[in-house]
Structure 1
Amino acid sequence: MKQISFTLLLAVVAGLFAYTTQPAGEKALLSVPFTPEIPRTWDSTALADYELPLATPKASPKNVSPDYYYQMPEMVIYKSYPIYAPGREPKGYWEWLHQQEPEVVFDPAKLKTEEDWIKAGELVFDAPTDTSGVFTAREVRDPAMYAYTKMPLTKDGIMPFARYVVPKKGLVVVSGLGCVMCHTRVLPDGSVIKGAQGNQPDSKRVAFAYRNYNVPEPAAQGFIRALMSAPWLADDPHTQLSKQPKAVIADALDAMPPGTMLREGAGVLFPPQIPNLIGVKDRKYLDHSGINRHRNIGDLMRYAALNQSVNMIASYDGFVPGGKGFKEVPDPKKGLRYSEAQLYALARYIYSLEHPANPNKPTALSKHGELIFAEQGCVTCHTPPAFTNNMLTPVDGFTVPDEHRKKYDIFDISIGTDPNYTMKTRRGTGYYKVPSLKGLWYRGPFLHDGSLANLEDLIDPRRLRDDYVPTGFKGAGVTHRAVRGHEFGMELPENDRKALLAYLKTL
């Protein structure tokens, strides 16, 4: 989908993925013959109440029909190869890549066991849905890009957020928009955990391209409009940003820290923290605003389909982000979608992922923190064992419709965090979901917009002051601002706060 691929430019799906040791019996079960029951992804009945309405109900997305969706060609997943940073590439590697024959690696006919399907799902996780410009060979082979973005690398000098793909012999392209792009984290020791919360400095990479490559100014402006704008809002800040010079747009992109992402329908000015996918099987709502319900594996398949470009051809009160003139839905034959088997395998892979081993073992201090966690009522929202109550909290300024209380899981108390993401974007429902606290020790930045780099900052009373310097997202040109909301734990004595932090890091 050339127009959609270009306008999307970066997107989707946070948490870190790693296998843990399974009992021998469970491993054996994964190896027995397995015939999956694959649900229909674009099912009209399931889609009817899959998404929550937006905070501005008239702008709630109207998705393409099943007839349109299934006319889009299915993606072909080719073998891919690692991308090395300049100076780290093996001698002759680039020339060797150009001699490789294309190889299709996803073939459902060859998947015989449950383990086969999970492994195939990892191929889908790594596979691009764009090879036409989201990431380019020019960028990934440019030393200046790595220096500008401080791109994390593995121990072997690999940039793990994209891969080379050979769609035909002699042609080597860089993959983009795969799940791996946002949902991969490189740890300080150079080890990699697939998943999310990723830490690719993606917005800085785009800012670098705007500042150093000959990107036409209208292209940069069109990118913001297509990816971010919500034109039904009279004062939509992203529509206003899309009219600014390229340098101003680059400044806004530069202000987004790693761990937040250029998410279609979200914002540069209100950047979404990359959510954690580990444990997603136990969560009832997806995205920070809970816009997508999660009732079964079919819903996770729908989520992947939407977020890998299909939501760009939905109509938001007549605005079609990836359409011709932002109004006309493109020809489905020019589009691209995952196959049903690919989506099912991807969902099985995501469901299989578990948190990495936690180096923070329980101590007397953390056990005291566990008592404080209960005494302070944290368990009301962050209920064990998932450490979320799977509910939605309305933001200040949003009135909960009566019918929502009957249909959704509403915890009718606002925690006072910044409402802009869920009130002024295409993903805004007027709510934030209660996130899980599991795996906090390897995540960051924190809060839905990544304003706080460290867990300690969350219970630091100084962040409520107007002269506070946010340790995470500040905003372009901002030197200091208060980070308000979620004030729980701030009133505790210092020793109790240390104990609470020690406990949170063991989760």
Structure 2
Amino acid sequence: MADFEMPLATVKASPKHVSTDYYYKLPERVIYKSYPVYAPGREPKGYWEWLQKQEPEVVFDPSKLKTEADWIKAGELLFDAPIDIDGAIISNDDVRDPAFYKYTNMPLTKDGVMPYARYVVSQKGKVLLGNLACGMCHTRVNPDGSVLKGAQGNFPGDRATAWLVRRADFPEKAAQFLTGALFNAPFVKDDPNSQLSQRSKDEIAKAFDAVPPGTFGRQGTSILFPPSVPDLIGVKDRTYLDHGGLARHRNIGDMMRYIAVNQALDFLGNYDGYIPVGINNKTLPEAGKSRFVGTFDRHSEAQLYAIAKYVYSLKPPVNPNKPNDVSKRGETIFIEQGCVSCHTPPLYTNNMLTPVDGFTVPEDHPKKYDIFDISIGTDPGYTLKTRRGTGYYKVPSLKGLWYRGPFLHDGSLAKLDDMLNPKRLRDDYVPTGFKGADVTTRAVRGHEFGLDLSATDRNALLAFLKTL
């Protein structure tokens, strides 16, 4: 772990993760068979009663995995396996309530399945709602109701959290604690996340409500600067993970570390004396005794390996946008505009990190990391004011743009076309994606390449990008 993560922009706050001894005292997660969740009115007749009769079944046994295909299949099962069955975000009551679906505008598959959570039977007669599988964030329901696993997900997770916070029986102190555990970064001067976590329940709910699907305030980030959900398809070829390149990705071992840390281990990290779910935020709870979701157990090495193998195996869907004369002209424009210097074929990324405005690149970084020392002027909030902020953004791949969205690291732009709209630089612009709570208009600055193209050339460039 020593050189797995880059230092934070606030270097002294770079996290010190739990010791090896502490980590291996955490019990391994037991993976029970899970079952689909259907929206109200779409559930097969007798399904709920049938679930009550199911016996608990442990479904991961590494001794039975003999081939590469076996590991990948097991990894898919684990990718969809919840690590929480206590209703961390959504509950049984929620998924059986039509009002919840209306409030969140929850996407459904063509069969009426809500694919972001699963029912879990850990004892006969007790059906629990499982949350926080990898697939909760990294599953996308397409407009036709088909499902794309591993893509930029569109679970409206922060709206679901707003629904939770707005419940009459959810105390204001609980809303403040949850927001603080997720986002506080007290080492940041005038930390806006810490300020948010002290506000009223209604103000906190508003901030969660403002985050659109395709972006998600996962732990260590912010709902004030929410990250767009990463597309995992093709991640095997990425050198850095996280929008800020926090985690280095040199081999499958790094991917396994990343999964372990992101499946809640970072809540136990020490950020210059601040432990997000520590006792009084200062002391680690006894190993296995924390009650905060994901911090009292862990994946086994075999489980982490299987998930990594599955993620590496993900393939893009068939692209309906076939090259034609217009897109070929767009490819020429792509080259002429110099886009290839950052978005270099065939991966359409140079796998480098660009510093943000307000961050000075330390002298030793160019020797240690892959730094492309040019700022493109996008909003620096995520990478300067969160627990994952490194002072950089990684250069994203452009492959799969046709099925992704919203765009930019904070999801400010809903459609690819919006990227090339020069009106987005104006203060009276209405962002088509993330705006922020109580925000009507604001400029979406940065990455201003191609904004001066003619309409014909702009359309050609977009046509090319959609073929990738």
One fold, TM greater than 0.5?
A: yes
CA positional deviation for 1:398 = 0.2
Superposed CA deviations along residues 300-353 of structure 1, whole A, max 9, x for unmatched, are: 000000000111001001110121211111221231100100000100000011
Report the equivalent of 1:275.
230
Report the 3-state secondary structure (helix = DSSP H, G, I; strand = E; otherwise coil) of the residue aligned with 1:322. coil
Residues 81-480 of structure 1 aligned to structure 2 (within 5 Å)? 81-134=35-88, 135-334=90-289, 335-480=296-441
Residues in 2 aligned to 1:155 and 1:474: alpha-carbon distance in whole angstroms: 30
Report the equivalent of 1:27.
none
Match of 1:56 among 10, 15, 19: 10
The amino acid that maps onto 1:443 is: R
Residues in 2 aligned to 1:375 and 1:172: alpha-carbon distance in whole angstroms: 58
Q: Structure 1 length as normaliser, TM-score?
A: 0.90
Identity of aligned residues (%): 69
CA positional deviation for 1:124 = 0.8
Report the equivalent of 1:78.
32
Q: Structure 2 length as normaliser, TM-score?
A: 0.98
CA positional deviation for 1:96 = 1.1
* Contact 1:197/1:259 (8 A) holds in 2: yes
Residues in 1 aligned to 2:9 and 2:283: alpha-carbon distance in whole angstroms: 24
Establish whether residue 488 from structure 1 lines up as the match of residue 449 from structure 2. Answer: yes
RMSD: 0.7
Residues in 2 aligned to 1:114 and 1:269: alpha-carbon distance in whole angstroms: 42
Report the 3-state secondary structure (helix = DSSP H, G, I; strand = E; otherwise coil) of the residue aligned with 1:83. strand
Report the 3-state secondary structure (helix = DSSP H, G, I; strand = E; otherwise coil) of the residue aligned with 1:106. coil
The amino acid that maps onto 2:453 is: L
* Contact 1:226/1:326 (8 A) holds in 2: no
Report the equivalent of 1:67.
21
CA positional deviation for 1:172 = 0.8
Stretches of 4+ aligned residues off by more than 4 angstroms: none
* Contact 1:102/1:168 (8 A) holds in 2: yes
Query: More displaced, 407-416 or 201-210?
Result: 201-210
CA positional deviation for 1:212 = 3.3
Residues in 1 aligned to 2:38 and 2:356: alpha-carbon distance in whole angstroms: 44
CA positional deviation for 1:421 = 0.4
Residues in 1 aligned to 2:27 and 2:184: alpha-carbon distance in whole angstroms: 28
Superposed CA deviations along residues 339-387 of structure 1, whole A, max 9, x for unmatched, are: 1000001000000111110000011000000000011110000001110
Residues in 1 aligned to 2:271 and 2:369: alpha-carbon distance in whole angstroms: 22
Report the 3-state secondary structure (helix = DSSP H, G, I; strand = E; otherwise coil) of the residue aligned with 1:163. strand
CA positional deviation for 1:209 = 2.0
Report the equivalent of 1:33.
none
Superposed CA deviations along residues 6-43 of structure 1, whole A, max 9, x for unmatched, are: xxxxxxxxxxxxxxxxxxxxxxxxxxxxxxxxxxxxxx
Residues in 2 aligned to 1:191 and 1:220: alpha-carbon distance in whole angstroms: 34
Residues in 2 aligned to 1:213 and 1:297: alpha-carbon distance in whole angstroms: 45
CA positional deviation for 1:133 = 1.9
CA positional deviation for 1:93 = 1.1
Superposed CA deviations along residues 203-241 of structure 1, whole A, max 9, x for unmatched, are: 111111222341110000001111001011231001000
Residues in 1 aligned to 2:250 and 2:458: alpha-carbon distance in whole angstroms: 36
The amino acid that maps onto 1:113 is: T
CA positional deviation for 1:196 = 2.6
The amino acid that maps onto 1:262 is: G
Residues in 2 aligned to 1:142 and 1:320: alpha-carbon distance in whole angstroms: 36
Superposed CA deviations along residues 153-198 of structure 1, whole A, max 9, x for unmatched, are: 0111000001000011111111111101000000011100111300
Residues in 2 aligned to 1:421 and 1:362: alpha-carbon distance in whole angstroms: 36
Report the equivalent of 2:292.
none
Residues in 1 aligned to 2:285 and 2:47: alpha-carbon distance in whole angstroms: 39
Residues in 2 aligned to 1:66 and 1:296: alpha-carbon distance in whole angstroms: 20
Residues in 2 aligned to 1:442 and 1:436: alpha-carbon distance in whole angstroms: 13
The amino acid that maps onto 2:110 is: K
Superposed CA deviations along residues 264-287 of structure 1, whole A, max 9, x for unmatched, are: 000010000001111111110000
Report the 3-state secondary structure (helix = DSSP H, G, I; strand = E; otherwise coil) of the residue aligned with 2:386. coil
The amino acid that maps onto 1:505 is: K
Superposed CA deviations along residues 419-476 of structure 1, whole A, max 9, x for unmatched, are: 0100000000000000000000000000000000000000100000000000000000
* Contact 1:180/1:194 (8 A) holds in 2: yes
Identify the structure with bigger relative contact order (alpha carbons < 8 Å, sequence gap 6+). 1
Query: Gapped runs of 5+ residues in structure 2?
Result: 290-295
Residues in 2 aligned to 1:183 and 1:125: alpha-carbon distance in whole angstroms: 9
* Contact 1:449/1:473 (8 A) holds in 2: yes
Residues in 1 aligned to 2:201 and 2:44: alpha-carbon distance in whole angstroms: 37
The amino acid that maps onto 2:175 is: A
Residues in 1 aligned to 2:459 and 2:18: alpha-carbon distance in whole angstroms: 51
CA positional deviation for 1:138 = 1.1
Aligned length in residues: 461
Report the 3-state secondary structure (helix = DSSP H, G, I; strand = E; otherwise coil) of the residue aligned with 1:123. helix
Residues in 1 aligned to 2:460 and 2:288: alpha-carbon distance in whole angstroms: 58
Residues in 2 aligned to 1:506 and 1:130: alpha-carbon distance in whole angstroms: 39
CA positional deviation for 1:107 = 0.4
The amino acid that maps onto 1:386 is: L
Report the 3-state secondary structure (helix = DSSP H, G, I; strand = E; otherwise coil) of the residue aligned with 2:122. strand
